[in-house]
A = this chain, B = another copy of it.
Amino acid sequence: MTDGNGARPGALMAIGGAEDKFEEKFILKNFFDLCGGKDARIAIIPTASKLEGTGTAYQAIFNSFGVQSVEVLPLFRRADANDPAAARVFEQATGIFMTGGDQNKILAVLGGTESLHAIQAANDRGAVIGGTSAGASALSDPMISLGKPGSMARSGMVKLTAGLGLTKTFIVDQHFHQRERLGRLMYSIMLYPGMIGVGVDEDTAAILNPGGGCIDVVGRGTVTIVDGSELKMYNPASVPHLAPMVFSNMVLHTLTHGCRYSLIDRELEMDRRSAGPDDYC
């Protein structure tokens, strides 16, 4: 993990939506800490949301943690996202947070703009980029823009479109078990078998560490990793629309708070916090 001040890229924090905003605020506190804690300068992107107060609600929460600065950037049209004033805020940020709503809106407004270039540059120099729900989906490229529920992978059940491209290693999905999205994530990985699926439950976050070496999990739910590197399957394009997909060797991992998934070993590392080594088989 980065403290946001190092030379290496910052972490990505993919939050599964519906994170606690009223009690312990564990996930948001974790984001604040990753961004530098009291030294953090956070920029909030409320683009995905239809609700007027979404950005300011997060602003109030980060202020309550004692953040050095937090600004809501009202990027609702492409012209807003090409305004140099926005890029200057991202240049100063140690953390950038994208709210939930509709990930397609994020791409429609930010795709190819000066703001997106500034966000990418900020991440490259160490700023942490977090997103919840739609904001989590938008992190990857491609991103899941919409799909059907269910644990069965069906042909064409998901639409994948251009994402922000802050990672090209992972495809992120959110509200994962709550909305039964395993099928659509497995199908996405059949289309992009070189990528790794990351399904994040509500009030839970997957911290995608820079360099792609590992994923850490925090929060109350689970993070499911879908690894298709050993897949055997039919050419997905040959399967009729919504017919079940035939496949072999889809590898699943499910992690809870404190777990780390290693991309080197392609498996769960010891839970370093909540259980002793004798319990690991």
Contacts and interface: CB of A to CB of B under 8 A. Distances in A.
A186 to B, nearest CB: 8
Interface in A146-174: 150-153
A180 B183 CA distance: 11
Interface stretch (A30-38, A82-90, A208-216, A252-260): A252-260
A92 interface: no
Interface string A176-193: 010010100010000000
A65 interface: no
Nearest to A280: B234
A249 B253 CA distance: 6
Interface string A222-263: 100000000111110010000111111111111110010100
A4 interface: no
Nearest to A150: B177
A279 interface: yes
Contacts of A231: 281
A268 interface: yes
A114 interface: no
A268 B254 contact: no
Interface residues of A, number: 40
Interface string A111-154: 00000000000000000000000000000000000000011110
Contacts of A151: 151, 177, 180, 182
A281 to B, nearest CB: 6
A225 to B, nearest CB: 8
A271 interface: yes
A268 B244 contact: no
A267 interface: yes
Contact of A234 (B180, B232, B248, B279): B279
B248 A268 contact: yes
Contact of A233 (B150, B245, B281): B281
Contact of A268 (B238, B246, B252): B246
Contacts of A221: 244
A275 interface: yes
Contacts of A259: 246
Contacts of A186: 252
Contacts of A222: 152, 244, 246
A278 to B, nearest CB: 8
Contacts of A243: 256
Given A249-B253, A249-B267, 10 more contacts: A221-B244, A231-B281, A233-B280, A234-B281, A235-B280, A246-B259, A247-B254, A248-B261, A248-B267, A251-B252
